[in-house]
A and B are shown apart, each in its own frame.
Chain A
Amino acid sequence: MNRRDFLKGLVGTSYVVLSGSSVLAPLNALAASGADASDGWLTTGSHFGAFKMKRKNGVISEVKPFDTDMYPTDMINGIKGLVYNPSRVRYPMVRLDFLLKGHQSDTTQRGDFRFVRVTWDKALRLFKDSLDEIQTKYGPSGLHAGQTGWRATGQLHSSTSHMQRAVGMHGNFVKKVGDYSTGAGQTILPYILGSTEVYAQGTSWSLILEHSKTIILWSNDPYKNLQVGWNAETHESYAYLAQLKEKVAKGEIRVISIDPVVTKTQQYLGCEQLYINPQTDVALMLGIAHEMVEKNLHDTKFIEGYSLGFDKFLPYIKGQTDGVEKTPEWAAKITGVSAEIIRDLAKVMTKDRTQMLMGWCIQRQQHGEQPYWMAAVLATMIGQIGLPGGGISYGHHYSSIGVPSSGAAAPGAFPRNLDEGQKPIFDSNDFKGASNTIPVARWIDAILEPGKTIDSNGTKVTYPDIKMMVFSGNNPWNHHQDRNRMKKAFHKLECIVSIDMNWTATCRFSDIVLPACTTFERNDIDIYGAYANRGLLAMQKMVEPLYESLSDFEIFTRFAALLGKEKEYTRGMTERDWLVKLYNDCKAANAGQFEMPEFDEFWKAGYVYFGEGKPWVRHAAFRDDPEINPLGTPSGLIEIYSRKIAHYEYDDCPGHPTWMEKAERSHGGPGSDKHPIWMQSCHPDKRLHSQMCESEEFRETYTVNGREPVYLNPEDAKKRGIKSGDVVRVFNDRGQLLAGAVVSDKFPQGVIRIQEGAWYGPVGEDGSKEGGAKIGAICSYGDPNTLTMDIGTSKLAQACSAYTCLVDYEKYQGKVPAVSSFSGPVEIAL
Chain B
Amino acid sequence: MIKDAVNTETVEVNPVDQVRSTIYQLLSSLFAKEIDHKTLHDLTSDQAKQFWAQLGSEAEFKADVDVLVAELAKLNTDKALLELAADYCGLFLVGTKYSASPYASLYLSDKPAKKGDEPLLFGEQHQQMTQFLKQSQLQVQSEFPEPADHIAVILAYVAHLCTHSDETEQLSFINANLANWLGNFVTKVTEVDTGNFYQALVRLTHAWVKSDAEWLESELN
Which A residues fall within an 8 A CB radius of B?
1, 3-4, 6-11, 13-28, 31-32, 57-59, 77-78, 80-81, 83-91, 93, 96, 99-100, 113-117, 503, 546-548, 695-698, 700-701, 818-820, 822-828, 830
Contacts and interface: CB of A to CB of B under 8 A. Distances in A.
Contact of B90 (A8, A114, A820): A114
A701 B116 contact: yes
B18 A11 contact: yes
Given A19-B39, A116-B89, A828-B192, A84 B121 contact: yes
A26 B122 contact: no
Contact of B192 (A22, A819, A824): A824
B47 A93 contact: no
B90 A113 contact: yes
A772 to B, nearest CB: 13
B15 A16 contact: no
Given A9-B57, A15-B2, A696 B133 contact: no
Interface in B84-111: 85-86, 88-91, 93-101, 107
Given A4-B16, A115-B90, A27 B95 contact: no
A86 B57 contact: no
Nearest to B215: A3
A476 to B, nearest CB: 20
Contacts of A1: 57-58
A700 B115 contact: yes
A117 B34 contact: yes
B221 interface: no
B42 interface: yes
Contact of B19 (A7, A77, A115, A700): A7
Nearest to B39: A19
A822 B121 CA distance: 14
| SS of A interface (majority) | loop
A602 B5 CA distance: 47
Contacts of A28: 139
Given A25-B141, A27-B137, A32-B137, A87 B95 contact: yes
A93 B7 contact: no
Given A21-B141, A26-B7, A90-B93, A701 B100 contact: no
A830 B211 CA distance: 25
| Closest 4 pairs between A and B when the two form their complex, measured CB to CB | A823-B95, A824-B99, A86-B96, A827-B98
A80 B119 contact: yes
Contacts of A83: 119
B180 interface: no
Contacts of B19: 7-8, 10-11, 14
B54 interface: yes
Nearest to A112: B90
B148 to A, nearest CB: 10
B45 interface: yes
| Most chain A beta-carbon neighbours within 10 Å: one of B43, B93, B123, B215 | B93
B28 A825 contact: no
A31 B133 CA distance: 11
A26 B156 CA distance: 13
Given A18-B42, A823-B99, 9 more contacts: A10-B51, A16-B48, A24-B153, A28-B139, A58-B130, A59-B122, A81-B119, A823-B96, A823-B101
B191 A828 contact: yes
B16 A8 contact: yes
* Contact-residue size bin, chain B (C-beta under 8 Å from the other chain): 35 or more
B43 A24 contact: no
Contacts of B140: 23-25
Contacts, number: 249
Contacts of A10: 19, 23, 51, 54-55
B194 interface: yes
Contacts of A113: 90, 94
Nearest to A21: B141
Contact of B89 (A3, A78, A93): A93
A701 B113 CA distance: 12
B165 interface: no
B177 interface: no
Contacts of B5: 18, 21-22, 24
A482 B18 CA distance: 60
Given A16-B47, A27-B134, A86 B139 contact: no
Nearest to B50: A13
Nearest to A508: B94
Interface string B182-195: 00100110011010
Contacts of B196: none
Contacts of A116: 34, 82, 85-86, 88-89
A27 B218 contact: no
Nearest to A57: B127
Contact of B20 (A7, A18, A20): A7
Contacts of B203: none
Contacts of A818: 98
B118 interface: yes
Contact of B29 (A16, A20, A819, A823): A20
Contact of B82 (A6, A18, A27, A96): A96
| Most chain B beta-carbon neighbours within 10 Å: one of A3, A19, A115 | A19
Contacts of B25: 18, 22
Contacts of A90: 93-94
A818 B86 CA distance: 22
B6 A22 contact: yes
Contacts of A17: 22, 26, 42-43, 45, 47-48, 51
Nearest to B3: A15
| Most chain B beta-carbon neighbours within 10 Å: one of A23, A58, A96, A823 | A23
Contacts of B43: 17, 19
Contacts of A86: 95-98, 101, 120-121
Contact of B83 (A15, A87, A96, A826): A96
A88 B145 CA distance: 13
Nearest to B126: A59
Nearest to B109: A830
B6 A24 contact: yes
A684 to B, nearest CB: 16
11 contacts: A13-B54, A23-B146, A27-B133, A32-B137, A59-B122, A86-B101, A87-B95, A116-B89, A503-B95, A697-B115, A828-B188
B166 interface: no
B134 A31 contact: yes
B160 interface: yes
A117 B57 contact: no
Contacts of B82: 96, 99-100, 116
| Most chain B beta-carbon neighbours within 10 Å: one of A24, A548, A818 | A24
Contact of A548 (B22, B79, B145, B157): B145
Contacts of A828: 98, 188, 191-192
A134 B117 CA distance: 46
Given A23-B141, A697-B117, A830-B188, A14 B100 contact: no
